[in-house]
A and B are shown apart, each in its own frame.
Chain A
Amino acid sequence: QGQLVQSGAEVKKPGASVKVSCKASGYTFTSYGISWVRQAPGQGLEWMGWINTYNGNTNYAQKLQGRVTMTTDTSTSTVNMELRSLRSDDTAVYYCARVVGALDFWGQGTLVTVSS
């Protein structure tokens, strides 16, 4: 069974950037895409975007266009998500998940707190 392990919690000031990593193991990394989903405190799930781990193609949620970048490193089976120009409403737990159509398993989540 595969596994996704994410980087640790971050605290950032408004206007800064954050990069969260997601390292895959236990399956062929380039055979499946990865999606990022975030969840603000007490709120539901919000899809952020998707990356094709084979060729690096991406698709981002419209509301995050221009602020988010997802990249893949096949040498380390890792996907990175960078979010720029952080605002207080970007405070959330950020999850990566393997895409099989549905999202069949998820990372443990990374709390990003944006506060002055």
Chain B
Amino acid sequence: EIVMTQSPATLSVSPGERATLSCRASQSVSSDLAWYQQKPGQAPRLLIYGASTRATGIPARFSGSGSGTEFTLTISSLQSEDFAVYYCQHYNNWPPYSFGQGTKLEIK
């Protein structure tokens, strides 16, 4: 089973600044990587799929990059509504799926 590891566990950033979140797979998942945003009391929302394609309605300040085992989610200029928990998930040669443990993005 592929293990997904996210870093850091918590990231403190000021509004308007850039945030960079990392996700590493224990073996190659090609570009079969998604990012989700989850706010308290809400279901996760798909942000990025195919490692770099924004889902419908996702603002351009969200971008994804990487392939193989190393991936990055970048939020270019943080807005107040972006403070949330972010999860990566692979879907290469699934099932099973694997999620990372999450990165909490908090206001500095």
Q: Are A50 and B95 in contact (CB under 8 A)?
A: yes
- Nearest neighbor of B99 in chain A, beta-carbon distance: A45
Find the A residue at minimum CB distance from B91: A101
- Total count of chain B residues near the partner, CB < 8 A: 23
- A109 to B43, Cβ gap below 8 A? yes
Within residues 9 to 64 of chain A, which ones have a CB less than 8 A from any CB in chain B? 35, 37, 44-47, 49-50, 59, 61-62
A-B contact count (CB 8 A): 61
Q: Provide the main secondary structure of the chain A interface.
A: strand
Residue of B nearest to A62 (CB): B96
B32 contacts chain A at the CB level, 8 A cutoff:
yes
Of residues 73 to 116 in A, which have CB atoms within 8 Å of B's CB atoms? Answer: 95, 97, 100-109
CB–CB A104/B96 < 8 A: no
Partner of B46, one of A62, A95, A105: A105
Cβ proximity bits B63-88 to A, threshold 8 Å, 1 near / 0 not = 00000000000000000000000010
| Contact, CB under 8 Å: B95 / A44 | no
Chain A contacts for B100, CB-based, 8 A: 44
B-contacting residues of A (Cβ < 8 Å)?
A: 35, 37, 44-47, 49-50, 59, 61-62, 95, 97, 100-109
